Structure 1
Amino acid sequence: MKFKWRKWNRATHRDLGYIFFAMTVIYALSGIAINHLNDWNPNYVISVRDVQTSISSNPELIDKEAVMEMLIQLGEDDNYKKYYFPGKKQLKVFLDGGNIIIDLESGRGVIEKIKRRPIFHAVNFLHYNPGKWWALFSDIFAGALIILAITGLFILRGKNGITRRGAILTSLGIILPILYLIFFY
């Protein structure tokens, strides 16, 4: 009986593709996020809101009660953690998920809130290998990607296979990173 390598090739490619579908999407999304770190923070959404307060301009008259009264006016009283004075005319209040900085002379301030970005925070966590077992699983995934790439070359026969159109496209896929390295490395 003749060994049917194409049948095994297709089965290997298909099964690894199914098993590692989610991992491919996770690493693709995280890769996009990492590529654009200069444009945005993929892990957190940071919102900033200007506020006006009527808190005393004298730091000696400001205590927890005064800070809580200000927070009630701003709708942030449930988020209070601590406060301190980083400068003589500045008040900083730490909140659950953010902070408020108030200029005591003008009463103007800024509320900065930080929230985890849905989906991207989780996929970036996984991409950065959070532990030994996940690193092992990621290494297995990397090996599976190599197998997927190689078996994918031999899925089709004929004019669209590796000996014709596939050879041109595969060559292009090899040449592009090499050219980038030649010109920019």
Structure 2
Amino acid sequence: MHWRKLLRVLHRDIGYIAAGLTIIYAISGIAVNHIQDWNPNYKIEKSTIILDSLPKNATKDEIVVYVLKAINEKGEVKNTYRSSPNELEIFVEGNTILVNYLTKEVKQEKVNSRFFLKETNDLHLNKPKGLWTYIADIFAVALLFLAISGLFLIKGKNGIKGRGWWLTLIGFGIPLLFWLYYL
């Protein structure tokens, strides 16, 4: 088999395998690149309600039970904290609740994972470690192979000896220029 034909076959087959991983990494990369604009892992919902009343002369635990029932929160209480004489914070899995005794105001901050994005971001940032590190390394080597083999797939003026050379230099130049600019 001619070397260029073998290269094409390997490039094609490895490319198909790498396509799914590339899409996952690309989606995650876009999400993480804009972390200053939004939280790509979690959706945070803030809400405020005012209760009609709070029980008078009730213990902290009684107020916690009353408030959770009033806002229809069924999660397990992880902790409570008296942040001031007039405020009580209640921590439930995925929800932080602030109760103001004077105004009867209940502020909630619910945190929910963004389906699919959180998982892809965790993989992209190698949070699982262990076996995933080796999979990511193999993927990186596959991308390196695809990039290098792709340089030699086409012959002639459109290949690496023609315009391919200049386009490859531009590809190297873009990150180099940014690196020099931000240094």
TM normalised by structure 1 equals 0.88
CA distance in 2, matches of 1:176, 1:23: 24
Q: CA deviation at 1:68?
A: 2.2
Equivalent in the alignment of 2:175: 177
CA distance in 2, matches of 1:66, 1:181: 57
Q: CA deviation at 1:147?
A: 0.4
Are 1:79 and 2:97 counterparts? no
Residue 168 of structure 1 aligns to which amino acid in structure 2? W
Residue 2 of structure 2 aligns to which amino acid in structure 1? K
CA distance in 2, matches of 1:150, 1:28: 20
Q: CA deviation at 1:80?
A: 4.2
CA distance in 2, matches of 1:178, 1:126: 27
Residue 124 of structure 1 aligns to which amino acid in structure 2? N
Percentage identity across paired residues of the two chains:
39
Residue 14 of structure 1 aligns to which amino acid in structure 2? R
Indicate which of 147, 157, 173 corresponds to 1:149: 147
8 A Cα contact 1:44 1:117, kept in partner: yes
Residue 65 of structure 1 aligns to which amino acid in structure 2? E
CA distance in 1, matches of 2:82, 2:40: 31
Equivalent in the alignment of 1:88: 85
Q: CA deviation at 1:86?
A: 2.1
Equivalent in the alignment of 1:164: 162
How many residues are matched?
Answer: 180
Equivalent in the alignment of 2:130: 132
CA distance in 2, matches of 1:70, 1:177: 54
8 A Cα contact 1:49 1:110, kept in partner: yes
Runs of at least 5 residues in structure 2 that lack an aligned partner in the other structure: none
Q: CA deviation at 1:156?
A: 2.0
Equivalent in the alignment of 1:42: 40
**What's the C-alpha RMSD, in Å, of the aligned pairs?**
1.8
TM normalised by structure 2 equals 0.89
Q: Which string of whole-angstrom CA distances, capped at 9 and with x for unpartnered residues, describes residues 79-128 of structure 1?
A: 24143322211111222321210121111131111111111110111122
Residue 59 of structure 2 aligns to which amino acid in structure 1? I
Indicate which of 115, 120, 123 corresponds to 1:123: 120
Q: CA deviation at 1:155?
A: 1.9
CA distance in 2, matches of 1:174, 1:83: 54
CA distance in 1, matches of 2:76, 2:141: 48
